[in-house]
Structure 1
Amino acid sequence: MDLTNYKTQDIVKKHGFNFTKSLGQNFLIDKQVVMDIVDGAEIGPEDFVIEIGPGVGTLTVEMLKKAKKVTSIEIDKDLIPILEEELKDYDNFELIHKDALKVNFDELIGEEKSVKVAANLPYYVTTPLIAQLLKSGAKFQSITIMIQKEVADRMDAKPNTRDYGSLSLMVQYYAETKVIRTVAPSSFMPRPKVESIIIRLDRLEKPRVKVENEKFLFDLIRDVFNMRRKTLWNGVKNLGVGKADLEKAFEEANIDPKRRGETLTIEEFAILADKIYAYK
C-alpha cells in the first residue's frame, strides 16, 4: 500500500475530519505527486518555505525534512489541532491560522534570504492569491503550486492561443513559468472533477517590461480582455483618453487598432500602454 495514501486517509479517519467543500479541500494521497512538488520546488536546507492550505500535513512533512523552516497558513480551524498534533515533532514547523489573502507576506518573510512558496493550493483561492503574491513585491524566489489544469494553462499560455489573457500577462510580467506535471483526480481525496497541474513560477529580478505606470498597463490589459472578441480599439475606449489622442497613440506604437488583444505580446502591450498614458 502506498504510504502517503494510507497515512492521509488514516489521519482523516483518526481525527474524524469532515471536508468543507467551500474551502476547496482535496487532500493529496499520492506519494509520488507529493515528492514531485517537493523536487519541483527544489527545496533545500537554506530555504524558508511558505505553504498555503496544508490539509493534514501530507506535503508539509516532506518539505519539513528538507527545508530550514516551513510556515503553513491554514484557514480551517478544524485542521489546526490536527496539524499541531501530527507535526509536533518538527522544530522547524510554524502554523498560522489565518486567511492567506489577509497575510502580510513581507512581514512574514522578514530577513529570510531564500524564500519559496510551495502548496497544493485550494482551487477557489488560486487566482487572487497568485496576484497578491506577485504584486506584493515579497522577496520569494519561486512559487510551486498544484492548481486546476485550466488555470495553469492560462498562466502558461502564449499569444494567439485560446488560453492567453490577462492572467497570462500578469504572470509573464513578474515570472517565468515551468509546467512540472499533470495530476489525475485519483491522486486526491475526495476526488476533484478536473485534472490538476504542478507549475512553478520563478520570479524575475525585475518585471519583464518597463512601463511608465504599472497600474495603467494592467488596466489596459483588463479592459482589452473584458472585450476579448472585440478589437483593441473597442477595448481602450474607457481609459479616459479622447479619440484623436488614441489614434495618435496607436500610430506611435505602430500597432493596428483592428487587432485583438490575444495577438499582442507583453512587450507590445507595454509600448501601447506608455503611448496612451502619455495622453492622459
Structure 2
Amino acid sequence: MHDLVTQGHTARKRFGQNFLQDQNVIANIVRAINPSADDNIVEIGPGLAALTTPVSEKVNKLHVIELDRDLAKRLRENPFLSPKLEIHEADALKFDFSTLGSKENPVRVFGNLPYNISTPLMIHLFSQSEVIKDMHFMLQKEVVTRLAAAPDSKDYGRLSLITQYYCKVIPIMEVKPNAFRPAPKVTSAVVRLVPYDKKPYEVKDIRKLEQVLALAFNQRRKTIHNSLRGFISDEELLNLGISPQLRAENITLQQYCQLADMLLDKNIENVNQTQS
C-alpha cells in the first residue's frame, strides 16, 4: 500500500521535504503516538504517507494538512487511504485548529515537520493550545534539545521558555539521517508536547513574557542588570530573588513570568528597544 503513494514524487526543497522511510522508526513513532479509533487526530504534512498509513489503520478518521497540491492529490486518489482521510490543502502556519477541535474535544497533532518552519509552527500551535490534547513531532535533534533545556545550560533560551510555559516536554527518540529520503544533514528526534490544563506559572499578558525574553536573550552574554536596564531596577530584581549579575540562561520560567507581570503592572509599553 505504501508504494502506491511513494512512487514518482521528488522531494521539494522549498517545502523542506525529507520523507521518512525506515519502517522500524515509523513503527516506534506510531507506538509513541498510540492512536486509538475515536481520536480527534490531525497530521501536519503527511508527505508520502509514511506515518499517515499506519496511523489511519488505527483510527476511524484522520485529518491531514498538506500544502503540496501534488501530494494532496495523491492522498485523495489513494484507494486505501482516502476513505479515512479528510484532506485540508492549507498552510499549517495559518491553519485555525479550533475548526477541528475544542476544549471538550481537543485534537491530537503529529507530523514530521519541515525544519525550515518548525519553530514558527510550534509557536502558532501554542497560541491554540487550549484545543490541543498533545503533539508528537519529528524535529532536528538540536531543536528538541532546546525545547527540553533547563536553566544554566547553553541550549536554554526563548524557545525553551515559551514551550515550557505552554507544554510538558518529553523527548522520545533520536532518528538518524539514513531513515529519510533524501537524507538530511542532521540527526532528528521525536518529541511529545503536552499542553497544560493548568499552567504551573501563569502570566497576565503573554506578550509581556515574549518581550522580557527578547530583552534578556537578544544579547544573552549580558547580565540581566544590563539587558533590563531602564525597565526593571536592581532592587526590583532582588525583590524577586534574582541577582542582577545573572545572565539570561540562569533565570527560571517562574522568575520570567514574575518579570513579565512586573512590566505589565508598571505599564511599560515600549520595551522593544535594544539596550546599548
TM over 0.5: yes
Alpha-carbon spacing, 1:23–1:200, altered in 2? closer, same or farther (3 Å): same
Alpha-carbon spacing, 1:137–1:256, altered in 2? closer, same or farther (3 Å): same
Equivalent residue, structure 1, for 2:266: 279
Alpha-carbon spacing, 1:208–1:48, altered in 2? closer, same or farther (3 Å): same
Distance 1:44 1:87 in 2: 22
Indicate conservation of the 8 Å contact 1:176/1:201, yes or no.
yes
In structure 2, give the amino acid aligned to 1:177: V
Which ranges of structure 2 fall in alignment gaps of 5 or more residues? 268-276
Equivalent residue, structure 2, for 1:260: 247
Alpha-carbon spacing, 1:112–1:38, altered in 2? closer, same or farther (3 Å): farther
**SS, match of residue 135 in structure 2:** strand
Equivalent positions of 1:187-206 (< 5 A) are 187-206=179-198
In structure 2, give the amino acid aligned to 1:121: L
- Where do 4+ consecutive residues of structure 1 move more than 4 Å? 87-90
Distance 1:12 1:180 in 2: 26
In structure 1, give the amino acid aligned to 2:38: E
Deviation at 1:81, TM superposition (A): 1.6
Equivalent residue, structure 1, for 2:36: 44
Indicate conservation of the 8 Å contact 2:146/2:155, yes or no.
yes
Which ranges of structure 1 fall in alignment gaps of 5 or more residues? none
In structure 2, give the amino acid aligned to 1:12: T
Alpha-carbon spacing, 1:259–1:89, altered in 2? closer, same or farther (3 Å): closer
Indicate conservation of the 8 Å contact 1:249/1:272, yes or no.
no
In structure 2, give the amino acid aligned to 1:91: P
Q: Does 1:12 align with 2:6?
A: yes
Equivalent residue, structure 1, for 2:273: none
Equivalent residue, structure 1, for 2:71: 79
Indicate conservation of the 8 Å contact 2:242/2:251, yes or no.
no
Indicate conservation of the 8 Å contact 1:233/1:257, yes or no.
yes
**SS, match of residue 233 in structure 2:** helix
In structure 2, give the amino acid aligned to 1:227: Q
Q: Does 1:33 align with 2:33?
A: no
Equivalent positions of 1:50-69 (< 5 A) are 50-69=42-61
Deviation at 1:90, TM superposition (A): 4.5
**SS, match of residue 99 in structure 2:** helix
Distance 2:139 2:261 in 1: 33
Count, aligned residues? 267
Deviation at 1:70, TM superposition (A): 1.0
Equivalent residue, structure 2, for 1:146: 138
Distance 2:25 2:240 in 1: 46
Deviation at 1:88, TM superposition (A): 4.9
Distance 1:248 1:87 in 2: 67
Alpha-carbon spacing, 1:177–1:268, altered in 2? closer, same or farther (3 Å): same
Cα offsets for 1:119-150 (capped at 9, x unmatched)? 11111111011111112244111100111111
Indicate conservation of the 8 Å contact 1:27/1:189, yes or no.
yes
Distance 1:235 1:87 in 2: 58
In structure 2, give the amino acid aligned to 1:54: P
TM-score, scaled to structure 1? 0.89
Deviation at 1:114, TM superposition (A): 4.7
Taking every aligned residue pair, what percent have the same amino acid on both sides? 35
Alpha-carbon spacing, 1:176–1:88, altered in 2? closer, same or farther (3 Å): same
Indicate conservation of the 8 Å contact 1:75/1:97, yes or no.
yes
Deviation at 1:87, TM superposition (A): 5.2
In structure 2, give the amino acid aligned to 1:176: K
